[in-house]
Amino acid sequence: MIVPSLDDSHQDHVVVAETALRIFREGQNIWHYEIVQFNRGRFIPNLFIDVSEQIHWEDTDECMSFAERKNYILQNCFPSQKGKSYFDEEVIMGNMRTRGQQCGRTVKYAEAFQSRVSIFDYRGFREPERE
């Protein structure tokens, strides 16, 4: 489950994050994402995902990284946000570039999360077993 950060200063985002923690409290993977506009420096990630890999995307006939793809989707799916300083393409890419540098490895772009619960096994992610 991916939800806004509890440290977000937008009250609606905090309500969504708190509600998700109440509802999904049985060990599900819960990752809080960063919204550059609202976190005001309180977002401290503890999970980074490398999004630098170049992939050929069939619907665009282009080869671009996951980071570039995210930016492409954001710019095309949320036209109401265009013109907002936090939604600028360079701000979005710059934030992923900064998070890539924070990984402590040679990572060009990374998505950062605050992980409350993450369950991994040798196959990757797994959801809790239901009785």
Q: What is the pLDDT of residue 129?
A: 63
User: Over its length of 131 residues, how does the chain's per-residue pLDDT go in tens digits?
Assistant: 899 998 887 889 899 999 998 888 776 788 999 887 755 668 889 999 999 988 887 777 778 899 999 998 898 898 888 888 888 889 999 999 999 999 877 899 999 999 977 777 666 656 656 55
What confidence tens digit (pLDDT) does each residue in 94-106 have? 999 999 999 877 8
Confidence (pTM)? 0.78
- What distance lies between CA 48 and its chain's CA centroid? 9
Residue ranges and CATH numbers for the domains of the chain are 2-125 (3.40.50.10320)
Distance separating alpha carbons of residues 117 and 29, to the nearest angstrom: 5
Q: Which distant-in-sequence residues (6+ apart) come within 8 Å of 93 by Cβ?
A: 67, 68, 71, 109
Our CA angle for 51, 47, 78, nearest 5°, is 50
